Structure 1
Amino acid sequence: MTLAPAFVFYEFADRKEFCLHVTAQSPRRVMLVPPLFDEMNRMRKMMVDVMRSLHELEISSFLPDLPGTNESVIALEQVTLSDWQKAVQACAEQHQISYIASFRGGALTVADLPSANHWIFSPVKGATLMRTMLRTKIAADRESGLTTSLAELAARAENGPLELAGNIIGSELFAQLNAAEMTDMPSRRIVRLESDSKPSDGQIAGSALWLRAAPDDDLTMSTAIAQDIAGWMGQ
């Protein structure tokens, strides 16, 4: 029988936010922080596969919904990067988690957890994420017969919410992400794909699922990620 993750909650800003949870018969636990925006959707299946593999390695895992995403009751356009950072901190503290595995842009949300142990998969700057989404918007506008530019869209985002890849992003979130880079943590392991030449502490064979046109998985990569996390946690 396939292991079915369950939902638990964490309290943030007088609300309950959902958190997917897989329980193992072990005190070891890790929180997985998802990628941001459309990358989150493309990699959701992979993240759940990682959680199932971690269970086989006797590690409990938590995958929180960031405010404004998935089942959250607050609108994304009302959320800031600071909110995401405080929410991730709240989830970790309430579930007593000191090991944090963040993926892609999720690494930008862990700034309020400097004393935790951080495992980071293929981190990306906030400006890079925003630029990619802006270019996607420009391409979509062009197909609709409209002409827009990076500068025009950025100016629009400074004055109000902007729709990018199906996400309504508020001005503050847009500005904070454009300035956001991964925080230098005392205890940190950075892992990248074998095809990525950027500096890292380890590499994993697999696919850049965040570049796919639709959600997909890579079970071999998910298993390798879980094993690397387990080794990092000291199995």
Structure 2
Amino acid sequence: MTLIPAFVSYEFADRKELCLSLAAQSGRRVMLVPPLFDEMNRMRKMLIDVMRSLEALEIASFLPDLPGTNESLLPLEQATLSDWQRALEACAQQHQISHIASFRGGALAVAELQSADHWVFSPVKGATILRTMMRTKVASDREAGLITSLSELAARAKTGPLELAGNIIGSGLFTQLIAAEIPTMRNQRIVRLESDNKPGDVQIPGTALWLRAEPDDDLAMSAAIAQDIALWIGQ
């Protein structure tokens, strides 16, 4: 019988944050950590498909909301990268999860979870994420007849919240992300697309959904991701 994803919760900072779960009857559990900001929206359907494929492989999966995102009651402008790291540590502890699969910038939010085993898909530096969003902001301002530069946006972010791609990013989050490098973690498996020539442990076929203009899916890639996660957990 195919299970339907359901919301469970985890407690952090005197709040309950939501976590989508497909809890197959298995001792094998994995937490999927989504990409950040607009990449999270573009890839959420793909992540749900991965969860369904994992359930068919008898692996329970959990997809938490980061504080300040989705249904979280915390305004995003109050969130920091440190908050995200502590929140995911709390989620992993409360749901007894020792295997973490993070996607893109999600790897930055689990950098402090050194006691877990890590599967990481196409990791990216925090500065790369922010600069992509800032370039989009500069381009949209130009279309509106405004002149903005990357340096001006970075300076503005140091003194108050900055809106990028519909996200209100506070100074604390901006400062921590701009300095966040791709982490090296225990029992780490780096997974990349076949089209990506950066170093990695495994390459899989698929498309860079985070570059699409609208949310999309790639069922073959989702199945390949689930199969590789299952292989990794079983090692």
Query: TM-score of the superposition, structure 2-length normalised?
Result: 0.98
Query: d(CA) in 2 for partners of 1:167 and 1:83?
Result: 17
Alignment partner, residue 153 of structure 1: 153
| 1:2 to partner: Cα distance | 6.3
- More displaced stretch, 210-219 vs 2-11: 2-11
Instruction: State the distance in 2 between where 1:175 and 1:89 align.
Output: 21
CA–CA distance in structure 2, aligned partners of residues 90 and 182 of structure 1 = 21
Q: CA deviation at 1:25?
A: 1.6
Distance in 1 between residues matched to 2:163 and 2:91, nearest whole Å: 28
1:174 corresponds to: 174
Give per-residue Cα distances to partners, 1:118-149, cap 9 Å, x unaligned: 00000000000010000000011011111100
| Secondary structure in structure 2 of the residue aligned to 1:42 | helix
Cα offset, 1:4, TM superposition: 1.9
CA distance in 2, matches of 1:181, 1:92: 22
What one-letter code is carried by the residue in structure 2 that aligns with 1:114?
A: Q
Q: Secondary structure at the match of 1:191?
A: strand
Cα deviation for residue 161 of structure 1 reads 0.2
The ranges of structure 1 where at least 4 consecutive aligned residues each deviate by more than 3 angstroms after the TM superposition are none
Equivalent residue, structure 1, for 2:84: 84
- Equivalent residues in 2 for 1:125-140 (5 A)? 125-140=125-140
Q: Write out aligned runs for 1:60-209 (5 A).
A: 60-209=60-209
Distance in 2 separating the partners of 1:21 and 1:4: 9
Following superposition, the deviation at residue 203 of structure 1 comes to 0.4
Give the total of aligned pairs. 235
**How far did residue 28 of structure 1 move?**
0.5
Aligned amino acid, residue 199 of structure 1: P
Q: Which amino acid aligns with 1:221?
A: M
**TM-score, normalised on structure 1?**
0.98
**1:15 maps to which residue?**
15
Q: Unpaired runs of 5+ in structure 1?
A: none
Cα deviation code 1:35-70 (max 9, x no counterpart): 000000000000000000000000000000000000
Q: Once the two structures are aligned, what percentage of the paired residues are identical?
A: 77
1:26 is paired with a residue whose SS is coil
Kindly state the Cα deviation for residue 3 of structure 1 after the two structures are TM-superposed. 4.0
Q: Which amino acid aligns with 1:45?
A: K
